Amino acid sequence: TSEDGASFIAKKEALGKGITVASDLVVDHANQCSITMTNGQSYLDMTSGIGVASTGHCHPTVVKAVQDQVGKMSHAQINMFYHAPLLELMDRLRPYTAPLDTFCFNNSGSEAVESAIKLARHATKKKNIIVFNGGHHGRTIGAMALTGSKNMFSAGFGPLMPGVFYVDYPYSFRCSASTFEGHSPDHCVKEIMRQLNVLLKQRCHPDDTAAILIEPVLGEGGYVPAPKGFFQELRAFCDQHKILMIADEVQTGFGRTGKMFAIEHWNTVPDIMVLAKGIASGYPLSAIVSRKELMDLQPPGSMGGTFVGNIVACTAAVATLDVFEQEHVLKNVQERSIQVFGLLEKKLSSANGASGLPESIMPLDIRGLGLMIGLEFGNAPQGFAARVVKHARDHEHLLLLTASIYETIRMIPPLVVDADTLEDSVNRLVKSIVQVANDMKNE
C-alpha cells in the first residue's frame, strides 16, 4: 500500500525531518470522506486533514465557488484593497460570533493565536498569559511557548517567550485516574479554579496578567471537553481580575462540536476567539474575532501580512457557510455524535466481555463533544494508540490520529459524514483495537 522505488525514496528525502509524515502514502484525489492514493487504494478519512475538511473533501459547492474565483483573481492584497468575499465573509460570520463582531485575519492557527496575544497585551498594557497543561496553540516562536501538549514542540528552541504561566487543564478522567481518585467533574472544576487563584496570589499578579488562553475542548492534548460549569467559573474569574479570556477555537470551531463554536456549550462569551482549520474547508485562512472597542485598540498596521484574507480562501469560507446552512451541517453533527458515542459504548463495552479487550488496557474513557471523538486507554502499554492507528490504516484502510502523551486515539470525521460511513468506520476501529490489544497481550 505504499509507494516504493528509488525515485520516490530520493524525492521524499528532500523534505527535511522537521515535518513528519505518518506513512509513505501519496494522495491522488479525495471525495467527501474518502481519499484515494496514487496506488489506486481508497481510505476512509476519519481525520478530516486534522479537523479541516469539515464539509468533506471537494464539496461541490466549495469547488464551484473556488473555481469561479480563481479565474477572476487569486490574490487581492489586503493592504491595498477590500474585496467582496472578505466583506461578505465578515457579514456572514457575525450572526454566529455575536456579540463579537470585529475581525482580523491571518493564514494559520498559530499566527492567529499570536495576533490574539498581541491584541491582549497591547489592549491591557499587561504582559502575562495563563495557559493550560495539554493545550496546543501552534509552532511559531510565540505559540510554542503557549503549547503544553508535548515537549517536542518547544524542546531545544528556547529561550521561549516570557510571561507564560501554566495550570492544569480540567481533565476529569486524569484527575480521577490519578490525584483525585473518585472525585467528580465538579471537584475537578474547583481544583483548577484553586490552582488559578493560587497562581495569581503567588506568581502572576492580576495587574500583570493580560489573558487566559484556553481550548474549550483540549485538542492535540487528548480530546478532553472541559467539565460542565467550568467556563462560567473562568469567565467570572477573568472579569473579577480584569483578565481577557481568549478561546482557541482553532480545532473546536465551525461546527466540530455540534454548535458553531464550542464555547457556546457553556453559554459563555470570551473576549477574543481564535478561528482557523474548518473555516474554509481546506484553504489557508485564520482569524481572530473580538468586540469592536477592543479590536480598535490595535495599532494601525500592526497586524496582517502579505497573504492574509486571501480572496480564494475567503470565497471558500463563504461557500463553507453556504454548505453549513443549506445542508444543516450542525444538525448532522449532533445526530452523528449521538450515533457514534452510542456505537462506541456498545461495541467496546461488549468487546470488553466475550470478544475480549484485555484488562491490561483498561480503564477506557470514551469522550468528546460532537464529532471530536477521543478514546483513552488508561493502562495500555506505551505505543498502543499509535499501533492501533497504524493497524487501522494498513489493514482496515481507515485513517485516524493519536493525541496527547497518553494512549489516546481520536476520530475527526468530516462533519457531513453519513450514518453508514460512520458505522463502517467504528467497526474498522473496534476491529483494530481488539486485534492490537490481543497481539500485545500475547507478545
Judged by the rule CB under 6 A, the positions of this chain that interact with ligand PMP are 108-110, 113, 136-138, 215, 219-220, 248, 250-251, 276
Query: Do the bridges between strand 286-290 and strand 102-106 make them parallel or antiparallel, or are there none, so unpaired?
Result: antiparallel
Least separation in angstroms between residue 141's CB and ligand PMP is 12
Q: Which is nearer to ligand PMP, 110 or 290 (CB)?
A: 110
Least separation in angstroms between residue 50's CB and ligand PMP is 6
Q: Which is nearer to ligand PMP, 148 or 200 (CB)?
A: 148
Least separation in angstroms between residue 278's CB and ligand PMP is 11
Q: Which residues of 149-183 are buried (b: 16+ CB within 10 A; e: fewer)?
A: beeebbeeeeeebebbbebbbbbbbbbbbeeeeee
Q: Which is nearer to ligand PMP, 47 or 110 (CB)?
A: 110
Question: Which residue type, as a one-letter code, is found at position 141?
Answer: I
Least separation in angstroms between residue 282's CB and ligand PMP is 12
Q: Which is nearer to ligand PMP, 116 or 422 (CB)?
A: 116
264 Cα distance to chain centroid: 16
Least separation in angstroms between residue 8's CB and ligand PMP is 26
Least separation in angstroms between residue 277's CB and ligand PMP is 7
Strands (E), 160-285: 164-168, 209-214, 217-218, 224-225, 244-248, 272-275
* Phi-psi domain of 368 (left: phi exceeds 0; alpha: psi -120 through 50; beta: other): left
Q: Which is nearer to ligand PMP, 154 or 251 (CB)?
A: 251
Residue 291 near residue 245, CB atoms below 8 Å: no
Q: From CA 91, how far away is CA 379, in angstroms rounded?
A: 49
Least separation in angstroms between residue 286's CB and ligand PMP is 7
Q: Which is nearer to ligand PMP, 137 or 431 (CB)?
A: 137
Q: Which is nearer to ligand PMP, 220 or 233 (CB)?
A: 220
Least separation in angstroms between residue 118's CB and ligand PMP is 15
Q: What is the DSSP letter of 57?
A: B
Least separation in angstroms between residue 110's CB and ligand PMP is 3
Closest residue (Cβ) to ligand PMP? Answer: 109
Q: From CA 258, how far away is CA 82, in angstroms rounded?
A: 32
Question: Which residue type, as a one-letter code, is found at position 172?
Answer: S
Question: Hey, what's the cell of 421?
Answer: 460511513
Q: From CA 126, how far away is CA 139, in angstroms rounded?
A: 23
Residue with C-alpha cell 450515533?
339
Helix (H), strand (E) at residue 194? helix 185-202
C-alpha neighbours within 13 Å on the C-beta side of residue 101: 5
> Could you tell me which of 309, 283, 256, 254 has the C-alpha nearest to residue 59?
283
Least separation in angstroms between residue 257's CB and ligand PMP is 12
Q: Which is nearer to ligand PMP, 216 or 227 (CB)?
A: 216
Q: From CA 111, how far away is CA 393, in angstroms rounded?
A: 32
Q: Which is nearer to ligand PMP, 258 or 278 (CB)?
A: 278
Contacts of 46 (CB under 8 A, 6+ apart): 33, 398, 399, 400, 411, 412, 413, 425, 429
Q: Which residues of 322-360 are buried (b: 16+ CB within 10 A; e: fewer)?
A: bbbeeeebbebbbebbeebbebbeebbeebbeeeebeee
Q: Which is nearer to ligand PMP, 136 or 391 (CB)?
A: 136
